[in-house]
A and B are shown apart, each in its own frame.
Chain A
Amino acid sequence: MSDFLTQTVLIATVASAIRLAVPLLLASLGETFGQRSGVLNLGVDGIMLLGAFGGYFTVLRTGNVWLGLLVGVLVGLVLGVASAVMAVTLQAEQGISGIGIFLFGLGLSDLLFQRLVGTPLPISSFPKLAVPGLSDIPVLGEMLFRHSVIVYIAFLGVPLSMFIINRTTFGMNIRAVGENPEAADSLGVSVTAVRYATVSIGGTLAGVAGAALAIDLGIFQQNLTNAAGFIAVALVYFGAWRPLGVMAGALLYGFVNALVLQFKTLGIIPRSWSDIAAMAPAIITILALVLVASRFRQPAALTKPFTRGA
């Protein structure tokens, strides 16, 4: 145990938690927009996978990580709009259509990878950025301010999302549409337009999350996300549909994972317990967040399609 209390290990654990949280955070921030407006998109993981492949392939060919991230944005946007068509215009049952999008993304990303790349080849990752000044703070600086650029981008998304949801008319429309679409409609707020926008934002951020994952790992593989998109959807529920809650959930999940890895590495968790310990992050995160989330109510119109006068 004393090994764990060394500064190096502590710093490494927190830094690892932050890295693990990034794709989850990006995807669940996006999903927060959709769910606040009443649309559940279970296809996040599929969009992440296609974003991941798109980003990976672009970097593989061009060597430009920002171009890769941009392709993640575009792939996510296209799939976000497709998700909106299914959920909003066609009013498909949201759980089912989301699973459809997931399977589509899982299959197509692997198919494209096999056809266009084949054997996993490494690509370059995002540049690291030591935040001037802040990164020199002892311990904290090393934990928090010496990360890939994408880490800062992801965490800046939290206050930005809060601002959009709470301080803009668009955000107010999102909250209204997710809670009482009839009332919003009666005041001339287009439920359809708001939901298209939020689901597209959700798709875009899922695409970014996937691209960020692949580029940060510097590799692509079949089912690279390993169901991270589903965890992201769950984090939105457990984060009580609030960006801060979602961030707390993503960090907690990342932290427990990082902690378990450190404990295993240092032999604090015996190897015979290894498999059980691997489940700890999911279990602890669910327990902790259920305790918090049970005090909040979900958007009243979540998963309910809207038809005027129905």
Chain B
Amino acid sequence: MPQTPMLEMKGIVKRFPGVLAADHVDFDVLPGEVHTLLGENGAGKSTLMNILYGLQEADEGEILLNGKPAEIHNPTDAIALGIGMIHQHFMLVDTLTVAENVALGLKSGRGALTDLDAVSARIEELAERYGLEIDPQALVWQLSVGQRQRLEIIKALYRDVHLLILDEPTAVLTPQEVDQLFVTLRQMTDDGRGLIFISHKLHEVLALSDRITVLRHGAVAGNTTSEGATRESLAEMMVGRQVKLAPDKPPVEIGPAALQIRGLTVISDRGIEAVSSLDLEVRTGEIFGIAGVSGNGQRELAQAIAGLQEAVAGSIHIDGQETTNLRPAEVRSRGLSYVSEARMREGVIGEFTVSENLLLIDHASEQFVNRGLFDFKAIRSHCEVLVGEYAVKTPTLDTPARNLSGGNIQKLIVARELAGSPKVLVVAQPTRGVDIGAAEYIHARLVDQRSENAAILMISEDLDEVFALSDRIAVMYEGQIIAVVKPGETTREEIGLMMAGVRPTDSRHG
């Protein structure tokens, strides 16, 4: 006899101006299962979950809990019905203690007074039972990212949540922390709780899910199970066509070092030493991937190479010429191209048109200037070629860049940066927040540059990306590179340990 679903969402419709965010979506969860919602940005996952949690109201459709219709108008309703949500960004109050964060919004056993001793005791019980070690008296700002995630789980357990929504809960975790989280989540389903897991990390989805529902453009694109799916098949459902998750990498002859960094030290904007006496070399024809949890100096490293942040010690050479602390334009003239992780702030000027953004760097080049004036015909044809070649979807060349989607803005930036055939290319988070199709495209172009003997330094928090593209992988931790390994000679788990600061044994090093 089939189980009664603990949750059924039937025919959910949500319209935003100009967009159908949810198009008659059906979704259900059985007790004790992990049902994953998978989809690209904007596919409607968050909308659906916000409706379930009372943060938004559906235009049409109904929600049944244990077979009975439920009215959910705000989070209070959802909480009362046993629904919990762990948000992509932690919903924690930094200045309160762990116990206070748990007690927030709950009735106290002592009436108007807080009853934190009782709360702490219960937290310790739950922590022991689920292996979620945490100090109830600690202030949240003192906790590590992993501990904060544990606190979010404890908040849900404390409320005895039957149905828990997890919105991209692994985004900021190391692989080890993800493994731990999954163990806890499995304990929760063993208790008969239902989990809704939202993620775009395909291997995590396959590792955790019982069932998978894929959303595309607000509608259900397909249902499957972990057993019946592969990363490729899931990606195909998300995008609607066949997708190559790892680009073909033709053999390329590795040449001399084109980017050499010796003893580089950079002080961050917050005044702390973000990069400490760092050494690295990237040779022509290779993609050198840097993995690491964000905030370990990756950003400052890239900025220093590009001349956007001061190197207080050490040297940087590009193609044999010293570029340490040169102005950004001078560094570029030595052969550097840079794709910043801060796409909207440093990558494009949102108010400028597509063609103006494409020309930001080369506007003084002879190619586009004729007797001191812009040669608009030459510019136009150059831009048309780039937009075509890099598949930037834009209504016209005169559309302001801010009106493009994230993926197309990123393609625009990549098109501009690769156009000059750089000797050294620094790319930070090349596909973060970009849809799979665009990511596939950008990856292919990076591999093309490698074939053309560029030296590519790629900084990424996405381990799939790092493994798929890199010829060598470096792990950055607290401003230093603690290991350099080849992708075929390591595992995700090993990289994960290094990302958490565990240095590899000497035998593997170097």
Interface residue ranges, A against B (CB under 8 Å): 167-173, 175-176, 179-180, 182-190, 297, 300, 308-309
A309–B56 CA distance with the chains assembled, in angstroms: 8
Say yes or no for B1: interface residue by CB 8 A criterion.
no
When the two chains form their complex, are residues A186 and B96 in contact, meaning their CB atoms are under 8 A apart? no
When the two chains form their complex, are residues B55 and A172 in contact, meaning their CB atoms are under 8 A apart? no
Partner of A309, one of B50, B96, B114: B50
Question: Please, which residue of chain A has its CB at the minimum distance from the CB of B89?
Answer: A182
When the two chains form their complex, are residues A169 and B114 in contact, meaning their CB atoms are under 8 A apart? yes
Chain A to chain B contacts (Cβ below 8 Å), 26 pairs: A169-B103, A169-B114, A172-B96, A172-B100, A173-B105, A175-B100, A176-B93, A179-B93, A179-B94, A180-B93, A183-B90, A183-B91, A183-B92, A183-B101, A183-B104, A184-B93, A184-B104, A184-B105, A185-B75, A187-B106, A187-B155, A188-B79, A188-B80, A308-B55, A309-B50, A309-B56
Please give the distance in Å from B147's CB to the nearest CB on chain A.
16
A120–B113 CA distance with the chains assembled, in angstroms: 46
From known contacts A186-B85, A188-B79, infer whether A172 and B104 are also in contact, taking CB-CB under 8 Å. Answer: yes
From known contacts A187-B104, A189-B105, A308-B55, infer whether A169 and B92 are also in contact, taking CB-CB under 8 Å. Answer: no
**Residues of A contacting B105 in the complex (Cβ-Cβ under 8 angstroms):** 173, 184, 187-189
**Residues of A contacting B370 in the complex (Cβ-Cβ under 8 angstroms):** none
Question: Please, which residue of chain B has its CB at the minimum distance from the CB of A173?
Answer: B104
When the two chains form their complex, are residues B93 and A188 in contact, meaning their CB atoms are under 8 A apart? no
**Residues of A contacting B91 in the complex (Cβ-Cβ under 8 angstroms):** 180, 182-183, 186-187
From known contacts A170-B112, A188-B79, infer whether A175 and B87 are also in contact, taking CB-CB under 8 Å. Answer: no
**Residues of A contacting B74 in the complex (Cβ-Cβ under 8 angstroms):** 188, 308
A266–B101 CA distance with the chains assembled, in angstroms: 56
Please give the distance in Å from A231's CB to the nearest CB on chain B.
26
5 further A-B contacts with Cβ under 8 Å, apart from A175-B95, A187-B75, A187-B155, are A167-B114, A186-B87, A187-B91, A187-B104, A190-B76
Question: Please, which residue of chain B has its CB at the minimum distance from the CB of A171?
Answer: B114
Secondary structure dominating the interface of B: loop
When the two chains form their complex, are residues A188 and B94 in contact, meaning their CB atoms are under 8 A apart? no
Please give the distance in Å from A104's CB to the nearest CB on chain B.
34
Question: Please, which residue of chain A has its CB at the minimum distance from the CB of B111?
Answer: A169
Say yes or no for B108: interface residue by CB 8 A criterion.
yes
A134–B93 CA distance with the chains assembled, in angstroms: 43
Please give the distance in Å from B464's CB to the nearest CB on chain A.
30
B146-186 contacts to A (CB < 8 Å): 155
B62-117 contacts to A (CB < 8 Å): 74-76, 79-80, 85, 87, 90-96, 100-101, 103-106, 108, 112-114
**Residues of A contacting B155 in the complex (Cβ-Cβ under 8 angstroms):** 187
When the two chains form their complex, are residues A189 and B114 in contact, meaning their CB atoms are under 8 A apart? no
A176–B75 CA distance with the chains assembled, in angstroms: 16
When the two chains form their complex, are residues A179 and B75 in contact, meaning their CB atoms are under 8 A apart? no
A175–B139 CA distance with the chains assembled, in angstroms: 13
A179–B140 CA distance with the chains assembled, in angstroms: 12
Partner of A172, one of B85, B90, B94, B103: B103
**Residues of B contacting A180 in the complex (Cβ-Cβ under 8 angstroms):** 91-94
Please give the distance in Å from A59's CB to the nearest CB on chain B.
34
When the two chains form their complex, are residues B79 and A176 in contact, meaning their CB atoms are under 8 A apart? no
Please give the distance in Å from A162's CB to the nearest CB on chain B.
13
A172–B50 CA distance with the chains assembled, in angstroms: 26
Partner of B113, one of A169, A183, A186: A169
A169–B110 CA distance with the chains assembled, in angstroms: 9
**Residues of A contacting B114 in the complex (Cβ-Cβ under 8 angstroms):** 167-169, 171-172
**Residues of B contacting A309 in the complex (Cβ-Cβ under 8 angstroms):** 50, 55-56
Which one of A170, A187, A190 has the highest number of Cβ atoms from chain B below 10 Å of its Cβ?
A187
**Residues of A contacting B94 in the complex (Cβ-Cβ under 8 angstroms):** 179-180, 300
Which one of B85, B105, B155 has the highest number of Cβ atoms from chain A below 10 Å of its Cβ?
B105
A188–B96 CA distance with the chains assembled, in angstroms: 17
Please give the distance in Å from A201's CB to the nearest CB on chain B.
15
When the two chains form their complex, are residues A179 and B95 in contact, meaning their CB atoms are under 8 A apart? yes
Question: Please, which residue of chain B has its CB at the minimum distance from the CB of A176?
Answer: B93
B334-385 contacts to A (CB < 8 Å): none
**Residues of B contacting A173 in the complex (Cβ-Cβ under 8 angstroms):** 104-105
A167–B101 CA distance with the chains assembled, in angstroms: 14
A184–B79 CA distance with the chains assembled, in angstroms: 13
A187–B75 CA distance with the chains assembled, in angstroms: 7
Question: Please, which residue of chain A has its CB at the minimum distance from the CB of B99?
Answer: A172
Please give the distance in Å from A159's CB to the nearest CB on chain B.
15
Please give the distance in Å from A185's CB to the nearest CB on chain B.
6
**Residues of A contacting B90 in the complex (Cβ-Cβ under 8 angstroms):** 183
Please give the distance in Å from B198's CB to the nearest CB on chain A.
16
**Residues of A contacting B92 in the complex (Cβ-Cβ under 8 angstroms):** 180, 183
Question: Please, which residue of chain A has its CB at the minimum distance from the CB of B87?
Answer: A186
Please give the distance in Å from B51's CB to the nearest CB on chain A.
11
**Residues of B contacting A184 in the complex (Cβ-Cβ under 8 angstroms):** 93, 104-105
